[in-house]
A and B are shown apart, each in its own frame.
Chain A
């Protein structure tokens, strides 16, 4: 009995240490944007200056979970918003495990479906968790705090509606209806492009204007970026979320273009997890 008490008090003390350490590093009042190393897919975690947790896509497998636990305090099991840009497996798979393991407050996605078994699993799970999906389109926005907000730049409502009427059910072309979003925190702006392609990508870049960080669309696919995008957005940093794949992502064309414009480029397949921290004015990569 005495031994058990000694062990328990020892564990309490160490746990207390971990608590205060995490309290210090995860509540620093800064914006953290983490491009998780999820392989070929997208999984982006954002912790706002007011300690809200936001997730854009979940990657192709459960590796998003390690990323979340690394970037959130251990007792925080609440995700305030999940954005699913579109229901392809390399963006959605990981979210299933996130929905199972975390308390999710809001679920935001676009309306076009692809009718896969995966999507059915997602819908069933949302129903089980009594979570209603919010369908966003161009013009919608979420204000997180006074200085932090998300603006949805894509898809336009007319585009989605015409597709929904056409009763087409094609898994491949749903990239074009993906959510494109701009995160604004004071003067620090990040453009999330999901798998959008030319010309949609040009239009959202025009809408967004100058940004600090550009998430290169569609894992560096050849239709994910062009001069127009870079001329409008003029990013200081480009991030490619990519892993081992058979499509040749990221393509030399895209890498060449970024190089030509002299834009510093980071890739999750080479650099691993990429964390960008900003106070709204200055920013840096960790």
Chain B
């Protein structure tokens, strides 16, 4: 009987999801060149600062409209804006082989509404307060690196350093994701368990994770990690451990059902696949490759490899480039990330109460941040981006089928032994 549910349940979910996605794309809005449009939006991520401009996107049921306006006056996460403009479609070469149509807005007028959504406004000002303190204490690259590592905030990251992170394949560390949620959830529950009963401590940790996710800015990767974190903690409250092992798929289902356009979102794809890689490929590699013996770098190498194996075709299809140093650089810097998350996390918590302590913690994180920066800059200067210009999408599908078969085979083999 349980065997049957294991098959039927996912099939039903899959059918539901297909129907949802189908109808979603049927009713997707269409914009024409030169059309006058206006929107009322709430900024759900901090605008990206780029030289003299600030940039953000408006998401109209999955259709992204790119807005680029002068740097000042500044708009912030949580602001409610009235935007009007004229649609302007351009073709951009995201990589040498894939062309995308980008919808831009011309003749933009923005009215900023001073009152924004209440809860969001509180979190947003809390977040600005923290970001302001970090930036006012540390050098610009270090501050943005730490904000990236702890919260995924990357709006004021200097462009050259952002490029260096990309070239060396460590851009993922500045996307708040699973690692942050795991660390923060673990840290919170460990701390709260000292004072409260287990159920209550776990419930409060869930609340903490939700607040963290909203504050970090609801990007797909952080939403994914947040929901998974909530599921894992809930399963512990309910005592149903098996919920955790399905949590990745349940999360993906929930997110796609609510926002089907995420299926095209590169952040969602990478976040989902790399987590799958870490969940299913890492144990196999750890068993078979003798790298775990090496302290500090061994585990990071295996984790990086697993995530990369799982995301390789997507990376190639989207960016057309592959970072040669990725595994090396990841192995060398990843050990600093948990330490920096904890130092930065406590610093952020204490900003409003006792900022000499946050200052001290930020100074203490400076050596690690400088080490991280220098290493990344060094490897980025060598180069090491390989571009692969034509990858057949069918090859990618084949790759994943093969990958799944290998994983299932190796798992089965292990069980039989």
Contact = CB atoms under 8 A, between A and B. Distances in A.
Contacts of A12: 364
A100 interface: yes
Contact of B52 (A7, A93, A100): A93
Contacts of A117: 70, 72-73
A235 interface: no
A65 B140 contact: yes
| Chain B interface category by residue count | 20 to 34
Contacts of B138: 74
B367 A101 contact: no
Given A8-B364, A15-B363, A18-B366, A74 B140 contact: no
B166 interface: no
B356 interface: no
A101 B135 contact: yes
Of residues B72, B137, B368, which shows the largest number of chain A Cβ atoms within 10 Å of its Cβ? B72
A76 to B, nearest CB: 11
B140 A62 contact: yes
A18 B158 contact: no
A97 B71 CA distance: 11
Nearest to A102: B136
A120 B70 CA distance: 13
B158 A62 contact: yes
B135 A100 contact: yes
A136 to B, nearest CB: 24
B49 interface: yes
Interface string B366-381: 1110100000000000
Contacts of A14: 367
Given A18-B366, A74-B138, A62 B49 contact: yes
Nearest to B71: A93
Interface in B122-156: 132, 135-141, 156
A63 interface: yes
Q: SS class of chain A's interface: helix, strand, loop or mixed?
A: helix
Given A8-B364, A12-B364, A93-B52, A62 B72 contact: no
A118 B70 contact: yes
A100 B136 contact: yes
Contact of B72 (A7, A65, A121): A121
Nearest to A41: B52
B51 interface: yes
Given A11-B364, A77-B137, A117-B72, A61 B339 contact: no
A161 interface: no
B74 interface: yes
A220 interface: no
A132 interface: no
A69 B369 CA distance: 14
A69 B140 contact: yes
Contacts of B368: 11
B366 A15 contact: yes
Given A62-B49, A121-B72, 14 more contacts: A11-B368, A18-B366, A18-B367, A18-B370, A61-B52, A62-B140, A66-B140, A66-B158, A69-B141, A77-B136, A89-B52, A93-B71, A93-B72, A96-B71
Smallest CB-CB A-B distances: 10 pairs: A69-B139, A14-B367, A65-B140, A121-B72, A61-B51, A11-B364, A101-B136, A118-B72, A101-B135, A121-B73
21 contacts: A7-B339, A8-B364, A11-B365, A11-B367, A15-B363, A15-B367, A61-B52, A62-B49, A62-B156, A63-B158, A69-B139, A69-B140, A69-B141, A74-B138, A77-B136, A89-B52, A93-B52, A93-B71, A96-B71, A101-B140, A117-B72
Interface of B: 49, 51-52, 70-74, 132, 135-141, 156, 158, 339, 363-368, 370
Interface of A: 7-8, 11-12, 14-15, 18, 39, 60-63, 65-66, 69, 74-75, 77, 89, 93, 96-97, 100-102, 117-118, 120-121
